[in-house]
Structure 1
């Protein structure tokens, strides 16, 4: 006798129980209304050092990680963030960064001039301090130009700090950057190199540097070996930033700072952010318009009178900047010519090979 085929129904289907529970996932995220405000003062391998409640008397240092909801958004030194969890700063405590506040300025760089990926270095800084040695190692003006371009693109002021004036005359570099509005401070060391009473290096001109940093958040950049870490240690005595020496063969320094760190000046009058030594400063992200905007007088002339698509370079046909220079006489002519030449030098730095 032939048996009939069995009919199956839903009772025969076995289902695996959900180990995570039956509650459906939701896209709704908590508001974190109870979050604390904090300043990011250091970044190290996925852990962030924070100064929680920096504007109150109850500020404290805490460690945090980035919350998953931030995704790929990068948290950098100088960011103002909202944090939840354990913000006590006790040993072993770990908070979570859940929000990044809108940034007033963003200092960026790319690996080179063809790299489309922007790398945010620092947020919410007021000025970029370009630390350059006058000798040992020799100054590299193209690198200075690139840093100035990056500062202007970020909406920051540029301050050129020339070190080791005891080894070379700063006059040429001062004259080169005055026409583009870059302020310059000069430091030097005693001829005998003797330390001060506290055992620290003596730096002439340090008071002038400190005056330019007061009331501001300043980012220090520069090649290794130019004296940047020595300067930081003098401005913030408990910073303990590692210092290095210049290689006698290559003429370049060894990287001594491995990560950006924000340091408060002793009198609480401002912040300095020390960055790792850089060998290049790619400007693929910078647009000509944003650079020209840093030169208000030139931008007005170019906007009103230059033909559409004008590159404003020295070989640009019918560039109104040439007529603007030619229309002036005497000292005014020289001043206009110097300013246009300087602006075009920065344009060339943006388009050329990294320094």
Structure 2
């Protein structure tokens, strides 16, 4: 008699989960964690530019083995803006050989951040440049006509970011820039360079660039790219012309790039940006606007507490100074236009 004699062939066997064999899957069974590698071997590199998700970074800056490397951002940085001028931490293949690719795994702390918004009502900021300590505003005396209120916006954004402003007025052979510059007469710390077809103060401008990271901004058609090419001959930035019908310049520079300036007194970095026709300040704290007008700020100290400095503000020292002729009406009007834009902001 065998054990088969005790088995009922018509009886269905019973199974439970202990009878199921599970094939091990180490990845699926591994507990999730938010911990990321420390990347202690990462190399700090300067971000020179970005093109369709690929970043050009400068590794070993200033050393004999200095080289440009192509890199992508790590997945954990997908919500972190990486812009020209950033100091990025890079891992992977940083040899710079053709076909190699590094990976940006972190951004060093920024010393400054230049931003703009689509318009004054849009508080979503667009980061333009990181770690710049100077802004060079390029404006034409004519063709196209200078726009003092646009320049005011540049200055507000620069001072809000803690960046020192400079200005170059081009095409001074076409028109006298003095009436335009009178608008900024109260900005004693604003250094202005004048440039024409016959006289371009490249040596003086270059001297101001040495030892600094300077972001160039300006309206389309003012000659910004032409100036960049003169200062950095290897830049090769596209230049355009002004439309005779509309009086507007054509956008020629489509990307922001960082270029090394080499002068007799040393080197610096020039960051060229695309020409713009508007510069939103929706991200700026309204309290910082008046600080961009130091000459008006001194007068505003005599205003009553809580003064809005708008045209209808009672006993406003600024309005009284305009009436008395001690302040230029155009400059006060420019300030008041900006303040009116931010009047209804939540934190005003």
In which range does the TM-score fall when normalised by the shorter chain? 0.7 to 0.9
Q: Distance in 2 between matches of 1:350 and 1:58?
A: 51
Partner of 1:288: 286
* Residues 312 and 344, structure 1, Cα contact 8 Å, conserved in 2: no
Q: Distance in 2 between matches of 1:128 and 1:243?
A: 20
Q: Distance in 2 between matches of 1:139 and 1:296?
A: 22
Deviations 1:325-348 (A, max 9, x none): 59xx9xxx93xx35x973662352
Decide which of 215, 219, 226 is 1:219's aligned counterpart: 215
Q: Distance in 2 between matches of 1:256 and 1:51?
A: 25
For structure 1, which runs of at least 5 residues remain unmatched after alignment? 191-202
Deviations 1:192-244 (A, max 9, x none): xxxxxxxxxxx522222222222211111112211111100000011110111
Does structure 1 residue 209 correspond to structure 2 residue 205? yes
How many residues are matched? 329
Q: TM-score of the superposition, structure 2-length normalised? A: 0.85
RMSD of aligned alpha carbons: 2.8
Q: Which region of structure 1 is more displaced relative to structure 2, 36-45 or 19-28?
A: 19-28
Deviations 1:148-199 (A, max 9, x none): 1111111111212110011000111222112134321110003xxxxxxxxx
Q: Distance in 2 between matches of 1:183 and 1:70?
A: 38
Q: Distance in 2 between matches of 1:106 and 1:158?
A: 14
Cα distance, 1:150–1:164 mapped onto 2, change above 3 Å: same
Partner of 1:200: none
Q: Distance in 1 between matches of 2:144 and 2:244?
A: 9
Decide which of 327, 334, 342 is 1:345's aligned counterpart: 334
* Residues 149 and 346, structure 1, Cα contact 8 Å, conserved in 2: no
Cα distance, 1:166–1:304 mapped onto 2, change above 3 Å: closer
Q: TM-score of the superposition, structure 1-length normalised? A: 0.83
Cα distance, 1:305–1:224 mapped onto 2, change above 3 Å: closer
Cα distance, 1:41–1:176 mapped onto 2, change above 3 Å: same
Partner of 1:79: 86
Does structure 1 residue 269 correspond to structure 2 residue 258? no
Decide which of 25, 31, 37 is 2:32's aligned counterpart: 25
Q: Distance in 2 between matches of 1:7 and 1:276?
A: 75
For structure 2, which runs of at least 5 residues remain unmatched after alignment? 1-9, 343-348
* Residues 180 and 342, structure 1, Cα contact 8 Å, conserved in 2: no
- Which protein shows a greater Rg? 2
Decide which of 135, 155, 158 is 2:162's aligned counterpart: 155
